[in-house]
Amino acid sequence: MTPAHFAFSSTFTLGLMGLTFHRTHLLSALLCLEGMMLSLFIAFALWTLQLNSSSFSIAPMILLAFSACEASAGLGLLVATARTHGSDRMQNLNLLQC
């Protein structure tokens, strides 16, 4: 395992841990998701650079574009949840459990 591999793996794992165990605000969940996607972006970019593969160099940009779409959808849902539930706290999202 190279240092770069260790770096992006631990970044991703930390983001995933934050998303799973720190469930107070919806905004922090979205930030954790974005951190995970950015660590994947770094992984893609470093893979392309290390192997000098020019045909793969579009892949980090595609990843970044799609994760931006995902983040904007998440922010839209944040606004919708704040309008219907009053705040962005995750413990308010309890209408459906019974």
Rule CB under 8 A: which residues touch another protein? 2, 5, 8-9, 12, 16, 19, 26, 29, 33, 36-37, 40, 43-44, 47, 51, 59, 62-63, 66, 69-70, 73-74, 77, 80-81, 83-85, 93, 95-98
Smallest distance, another protein to C-beta of residue 86, A = 10
- Residue 48 near residue 4, CB atoms below 8 Å: no
- Residue 24 near residue 52, CB atoms below 8 Å: no
Give me the torsion for CA of 49, 55, 60, 61, rounded to 10°: 130
Residue count (the chain): 98
